[in-house]
Structure 1
């Protein structure tokens, strides 16, 4: 009884306040004075706006040059419509069913307040709230604000919604105050339409348009009388009366029929219309349920992982400032939704990529945890055009027990898809190559690719002070011995690249990698704590998209452009908000270094497994880790760069064991061919000569006559290679250097092999028996003294007569002692 008295007193106070505010003649339901009533009421909040409600966000991709929708994302399935887009039957059903005096009161129906007070007195609690449509709209706006704000430090979303629906006099009074102010700001039609757009119709379905689509496969504009009444019948009790489940049909029909009766009483419909509508059953013959498809699980079959990536970009990318600051503001705006998001994905190319990946690396493979991914991005723009993997997208718990399914995007960093990345193998070697070129070395310089045991302390790293640890020994998969850097790149010779790194600062190698955008999938920069990082065998697990951006930097002449996906954003109000900004910056390599790198990698790529051989100039690099646990192919034209990975999702099962070691080529080739067919490509730039030859080194002078050991020290000190070429006849002392190839004083590339010939002492220089024109006898004596035995004379018409005027071979010529020598003797005639 006490509760009834309080209820009577509370609503009596409300009635008195409202009567006072509305300047109704002196009516005292309580002892409250008019001035007190006005003061209490005026102190309540009075500002509220209808505002934008949560809607569907749509995601688009390109297909055949046209924008096509690939996904719908929403927290609330709502599509806001205008006044002319709603059937008059729905408007009439709402006013007749929920607020018959809607067009008469000023936001609060005083008659209903008094009647509610009497009803609550008899019940002992708050059972009737006398809510008008305007008051219900106010309550729904508060509830929607809870959805938009989400959980906060102050309160959870659930607590917020509970407070907005609390059955209390304070809430009722607030709703009344705001309803009155709303009626002053908005027209009746605006309020009615706002209610139709905001009301809940069961589950995640909100608004009359989404309800019409979900339950009747029609639009709000085309609702029949029976359909309109059934939908309005849901709003009081969405859980019990929505049409998603047949169990609710009887309750819905009962409420529908009540609304239809009121519409007839209010003369909104004729008797004939009433009879037809009331005879329409609410059952499977009239209800056509279309369950709303929200989220990436229901996206286009070829764009589910892309949808997931785009959602994460929208949430996390700071450059999308038009969506608000990353964090609470961004999250709220995205929950509100209503955006149209246009993306760079090319569905035609994506279809080729996904079909190829899933065909060549089947997700049904059970002998090993086989994964595969391929992603392509435009050079110079950063636009991602394909993103495919071999798994079927599934973000439900069912994926945990189904090896064919996953929600992890193998192409991206952890924050953008959940992947931890993969070891890159020899696709990291270009970092050393580029550092080599940047240091002024050339592609024709020669290094020793022989397998050797090397001390880690021999490597320089000015970033972290150097290395320690056990000696490092790594085998070559192909090639050995001395070779040019160009050939070392073509054959991917491990030890040749290690020799290159020994002549560089490892810090410079990691700096180049970082400047190309390379980082671990967890966001860390390149880990250069061990020398093996430069062969992609260290602690860096990298995403394919990251590697694509790195190689695209080389193709872009050394300018890095971050990958991007969002080509256009349209706000819920239809405003063009722009695109994901182009973010480019110079890297540590210039255009000439990039050109030389492309020159080498063009020869490493052409004619090999992934090359589509379609005439498009391309460069690239393969990579594999120990026992082919992870395998890669990088391929790029001047237009598009593609990264392809095939390997272990987890663990270290050799892909060779099950025939997948070369699958990367089978995946990459048709994808590259399809891309080249669309984009083509320009000729790759030519490198400058200085980066072909590198730092020119002169073969040392003074080598002739040195011992082989002394000559070797002099040659190697000049950063050249020494090689014995055997003995030759020479006038140099036996056992000393007789000749070099190239000769002393010649300019060559660093590392060039100098072939050294050793004298056998079998030659003597022809003495000078011409100077002074000695007699033939004196000349013969001098030659014999030098060991020559085959000496003859020949007549030469020349003065002085009877004197030696020439010798053949000429003086100073090294010849063997049995070489025929001819003395030319001057005569007046012959």
Structure 2
């Protein structure tokens, strides 16, 4: 324990010293100016004029501090449900109140820098006189006689200089604040006197310890305690406190960042300790124990500075980067972007963010597991983002590369580009979304009143681009050839099947019945944009996902569907605390109804099929939580996606080429083909998210979207092809000649259609019409006939290959039983359509065989 407590009783004498300011001012001018006139030739009148023209007071104000970013965390070591993930600062400083500073540090500052601090009124006249005489004898300015109050004044001007906007302005102001001149010294004296009029000794001493520079970009006693001793300022021992105060006069040669400075620091520390014992601040025993403390690893216990996102929690660096790049949007920091940035640079803010470390750590680890950040065979990248449904709160943000924004970089395993965000907020130009972009054609289809069980052509084919309406950038012309994955042509398919199987042909058929501009507007309305900031392209190929987009944008879009059509702009800060300790509101949730809730419900119904038996089933964690989603794969699998959502959380995962066009089909890692790596990332990520957030059922598909605007395909069987074509085209269907097929319908007449008669299909779908060759005949019913009679009937119908088999009747059967020697059945049975030469076997019942 310290022998005494501050503030001292001498504060009263200090206050008394402020009385008679005019007399003191006159004395100071006389003492300071007379040697100056003799040494430098400056005129007394000019110096007195400078003194008189100075303001009487100076504000201590807020000093630049570090900003601290927190994430939600429920694990061991959390504080109030949060965990610190990053510190961002231009100056490493954390202001602390008087009560959170060790008494040893308070006393060491006074003993080492201003022994009469509690008895003077801002200027130590005795010291001024002695210093002035020394300077006169020396023939120059060699001493300063600065009190703590005067040093505080100087540091305030230094800090103001460091905050100026340009390097030129900063250098000029710093030179002025530190110049070895009588004018500056007089200025400090007058302002120090005014400082002591306005503030208490306690406030001045606290401000001094919070503003002082302790070397190695470390400012203030709290940051210095953490930097060099890995503890808070309130916990400093006597030896530690004296060693820190020993730094402030010559931080470049006495800070504790290197053992090379230990001898100089120890020498000054011992002087401070001696002064503290002489002044009665510590006992002889305390002094001796501190004096005997060696400078070794048991004494100096440094903590590595963790400034910026490079020093952030390893699992949260990409999120940290996104937060820092969003500072200009944080309205709680100021009225406009310039004020927000200036306040952030000044620091002292605590941001409590939306990041959930309970799920973030797992998400980031799984990304590193499955998407090799150090792959040399190709420039492999991966990223994922999770967004809370209905709020826009960003819960996770991962990337396969390690974060490194230094000029030197960190090699191929690192990058400064955040693949989750766009060019403005992540320096990324995005990646083609592939079939995940089909969502917006689906939404436009439903918004136009069309249904999920309408059938459209899913075939690969070539179409004239003029068939695609585009009120933004059309019209188009020329052929457009498209194919399905695997080259299949499935014919007519309903919209749910087309979505589940991600059938390109079906979605392009849908697009031909829509306005391409409307599809792009639908994407924009739910928060999707090109990463480079250009407008979304609308040419027909855009339907299949050629726009370069971001995981963050896609997660927000699918969250919109899951929320019943409510789009919420991504946010990253829930609340904040300002430098003054005041609670700040954080980012407001910006949500709007972007989709008709019934359109969203119908889309969710189609997307559910993707995850329960379609192309996204491998990403389903299988925990019973209802989930919707869509896969996406670009040509040659250069880029692969999976975007999912429960009713609580939406997640987008991208794996692909950062640059280059290497097919992921040809790559393998962790037992997975490269184009499948997205699935274990998603499944493992969602398993942990679901365990915390859960999820409910999605709404049922509204009845109006079960059929939509579809029509039933008419029954044209038995009609001539020309008559069938006229009827179909009159109803709005397309007509396609499917050729001749075997049928029992009269040759030359329509045998069947695809879709079949009665099937609900979208207007505009092409109905394939097949014409009969008359080659098939129906087997007549000959049951009950004699063998001769049956043969006669069959031969009369044109059948030639007739056989018999005997079936014995029960022994009790009488000879006159009507079943005897009669045909009981035929194989194929009556009504079966077969070729005339196909075999027919008659079963004949007899008394004996």
Shorter-chain TM-score: which interval?
0.7 to 0.9
**Partner Cα separation in structure 2 for residue 145 and residue 335 of structure 1:** 13
Superposed CA deviations along residues 575-618 of structure 1, whole A, max 9, x for unmatched, are 2101211011222x311111221111111221322122322222
Establish whether residue 356 from structure 1 lines up as the match of residue 366 from structure 2: yes
**Partner Cα separation in structure 2 for residue 245 and residue 25 of structure 1:** 41
Aligned to 1:346: 356
**Partner Cα separation in structure 1 for residue 307 and residue 389 of structure 2:** 33
Aligned to 2:555: 548
**Partner Cα separation in structure 2 for residue 545 and residue 671 of structure 1:** 15
**Partner Cα separation in structure 1 for residue 567 and residue 98 of structure 2:** 50
Aligned to 1:791: none
Aligned to 1:214: 227
CA deviation after TM superposition for structure 1 residue 23, in Å = 6.3
Instruction: Give the TM-score taking structure 2 as reference length.
Output: 0.79
Please report the RMSD computed on the Cα atoms of aligned residues, expressed in angstroms. Answer: 3.4
Alignment of 1:290-305 (within 5 A): 290-305=303-318
CA deviation after TM superposition for structure 1 residue 43, in Å = 2.1
Aligned to 1:380: 390
Aligned to 1:195: 208
Question: Matched residue of 1:609: which SS?
Answer: helix
2:751·2:771 contact (CA, 8 Å) conserved in 1?
yes
Structure 1: gaps of 5 or more residues = 1-16, 761-830
1:518·1:525 contact (CA, 8 Å) conserved in 2?
no
CA deviation after TM superposition for structure 1 residue 340, in Å = 1.9
**Partner Cα separation in structure 2 for residue 739 and residue 218 of structure 1:** 85
Flag the 1:744–1:425 CA change in 2: closer, same or farther, 3 A.
closer
2:328 to 304, 310, 316: 316
Establish whether residue 635 from structure 1 lines up as the match of residue 647 from structure 2: no
CA deviation after TM superposition for structure 1 residue 397, in Å = 4.7
Flag the 1:68–1:452 CA change in 2: closer, same or farther, 3 A.
same
2:112·2:245 contact (CA, 8 Å) conserved in 1?
yes
Once structures 1 and 2 are overlaid, which stretch shifts more, 74-83 or 370-379? Answer: 74-83
Aligned to 2:828: none
Superposed CA deviations along residues 189-215 of structure 1, whole A, max 9, x for unmatched, are 211121111111111222222223333
Aligned to 1:692: 706
1:621 to 617, 627, 630: 630
Aligned to 1:420: 429
Aligned to 1:477: 485
Alignment of 1:388-467 (within 5 A): 388-397=398-407, 399-401=409-411, 403-467=412-476
1:253 to 259, 266, 272: 266
Superposed CA deviations along residues 480-521 of structure 1, whole A, max 9, x for unmatched, are 222222222222121221121111111101100110111122
Flag the 1:47–1:343 CA change in 2: closer, same or farther, 3 A.
same
Superposed CA deviations along residues 320-349 of structure 1, whole A, max 9, x for unmatched, are 211124543222222222222212222222
2:386·2:394 contact (CA, 8 Å) conserved in 1?
yes
Aligned to 2:517: 507
Aligned to 2:602: 596
**Partner Cα separation in structure 2 for residue 524 and residue 754 of structure 1:** 42
1:240 to 238, 245, 253: 253
CA deviation after TM superposition for structure 1 residue 744, in Å = 10
Once structures 1 and 2 are overlaid, which stretch shifts more, 164-173 or 28-37? Answer: 28-37
2:646·2:696 contact (CA, 8 Å) conserved in 1?
yes
Question: Matched residue of 1:661: which SS?
Answer: helix
Aligned to 2:796: none
Question: Matched residue of 2:619: which SS?
Answer: coil
Flag the 1:744–1:335 CA change in 2: closer, same or farther, 3 A.
closer
Aligned to 2:662: 653
Aligned to 2:106: 91
CA deviation after TM superposition for structure 1 residue 708, in Å = 2.0
Instruction: Give the TM-score taking structure 1 as reference length.
Output: 0.81
1:412·1:544 contact (CA, 8 Å) conserved in 2?
yes
2:214·2:220 contact (CA, 8 Å) conserved in 1?
yes
**Partner Cα separation in structure 1 for residue 281 and residue 73 of structure 2:** 48
Aligned to 1:518: 528
**Partner Cα separation in structure 2 for residue 33 and residue 630 of structure 1:** 78
CA deviation after TM superposition for structure 1 residue 372, in Å = 1.3
Aligned to 1:664: 678
Establish whether residue 42 from structure 1 lines up as the match of residue 48 from structure 2: no
1:56·1:73 contact (CA, 8 Å) conserved in 2?
yes
Aligned to 1:183: 196
Flag the 1:138–1:328 CA change in 2: closer, same or farther, 3 A.
farther
Question: Matched residue of 1:61: which SS?
Answer: strand
Flag the 1:735–1:299 CA change in 2: closer, same or farther, 3 A.
closer
CA deviation after TM superposition for structure 1 residue 136, in Å = 0.8
Superposed CA deviations along residues 539-574 of structure 1, whole A, max 9, x for unmatched, are x21110110001111111222111122122112322
Establish whether residue 369 from structure 1 lines up as the match of residue 383 from structure 2: no
**Partner Cα separation in structure 2 for residue 742 and residue 91 of structure 1:** 89
Flag the 1:118–1:23 CA change in 2: closer, same or farther, 3 A.
closer
Alignment of 1:527-566 (within 5 A): 527-528=537-538, 530-537=539-546, 540-566=547-573
1:264·1:274 contact (CA, 8 Å) conserved in 2?
yes
2:450·2:710 contact (CA, 8 Å) conserved in 1?
no
CA deviation after TM superposition for structure 1 residue 409, in Å = 2.1
**Partner Cα separation in structure 1 for residue 587 and residue 370 of structure 2:** 33
Superposed CA deviations along residues 225-273 of structure 1, whole A, max 9, x for unmatched, are 3333222111111111112211111211222232233334434344454
How many residues end up aligned between the 2 structures? 733
**Partner Cα separation in structure 1 for residue 759 and residue 377 of structure 2:** 60
Establish whether residue 226 from structure 1 lines up as the match of residue 239 from structure 2: yes
**Partner Cα separation in structure 2 for residue 325 and residue 421 of structure 1:** 31
Flag the 1:459–1:22 CA change in 2: closer, same or farther, 3 A.
same
**Partner Cα separation in structure 2 for residue 222 and residue 601 of structure 1:** 58
CA deviation after TM superposition for structure 1 residue 362, in Å = 1.8
Question: Matched residue of 1:342: which SS?
Answer: strand
Aligned to 1:819: none
CA deviation after TM superposition for structure 1 residue 19, in Å = 6.5
Once structures 1 and 2 are overlaid, which stretch shifts more, 478-487 or 547-556? Answer: 478-487
Once structures 1 and 2 are overlaid, which stretch shifts more, 669-678 or 658-667? Answer: 669-678
Aligned to 2:160: 145
Flag the 1:132–1:741 CA change in 2: closer, same or farther, 3 A.
closer
Aligned to 1:331: 341
**Partner Cα separation in structure 1 for residue 312 and residue 393 of structure 2:** 21
1:202·1:239 contact (CA, 8 Å) conserved in 2?
yes
Aligned to 1:116: 131
CA deviation after TM superposition for structure 1 residue 39, in Å = 5.9
**Partner Cα separation in structure 1 for residue 229 and residue 742 of structure 2:** 99
1:424·1:542 contact (CA, 8 Å) conserved in 2?
yes
Flag the 1:26–1:326 CA change in 2: closer, same or farther, 3 A.
closer
**Partner Cα separation in structure 1 for residue 711 and residue 29 of structure 2:** 111
CA deviation after TM superposition for structure 1 residue 101, in Å = 2.5
Flag the 1:71–1:752 CA change in 2: closer, same or farther, 3 A.
same
**Partner Cα separation in structure 1 for residue 427 and residue 99 of structure 2:** 46
CA deviation after TM superposition for structure 1 residue 626, in Å = 0.7
